[in-house]
Amino acid sequence: MIERATSHANIQSMLETLRSYQSQAAQLPTDTPSAAGAPAVAKSGFADMVSGAIGQVNEAQVESRRLQEAYERGEDLPLADVVLGMQKSSIAFEATLQIRNKVLKAYEDILNMPV
């Protein structure tokens, strides 16, 4: 199996496929509007994505707190909705915390790589 995957003909075939994809990608327009006149989509960076994700987690926590306070005031809210909102915000926060830990670990690994 390994011999067939690393054969000269198979490697050449993969290289040709990659080259064809590369030439197709080079022909794509970059930051120009489409032919239909639609505006170009703004590119977002890593910082924008992280900021957006943290904003979503914050919104989930704010909504959870709003549901808790409304239930405590005696508003007609099912307890299941309140608990579900609390669990959603808790899971979102835990996921964000785990992602932060993984990113920090990767950063430390990169820093410790020999040059």
| Residue 40 in domain | no
- C-beta atoms surrounding 3 within 10 Å: 7
Domain around 58? 46-111
Average of per-residue pLDDT values in the chain? 82
Cα 80 off chain centre by: 29
pTM for this one?
0.56
What would the mean pLDDT of 43-69 be, rounded to a whole number? Answer: 90
| Residue 52 in domain | yes
C-alpha 27/C-alpha 14 separation (Å) is 20
Give pLDDT, residue 56: 93
Write out the DSSP string of 55-72: HHHHHHHHHHHHHHHHHH
| Residue 81 in domain | yes
Q: What percent of the chain lies above the pLDDT cut of 70?
A: 81
Residue 77 CB contacts under 8 Å (≥ 6 apart), including other chains = 67, 70, 71
Number of structural domains in the chain:
1
Q: Which of 87, 89, 68, 64 is nearest to 77 (CA)?
A: 68
Interval 38-52: pLDDT, tens: 555 566 788 888 899
Give pLDDT, residue 43: 67
Interval 1-41: pLDDT, tens: 445 555 677 777 777 777 777 777 777 766 555 545 555 55
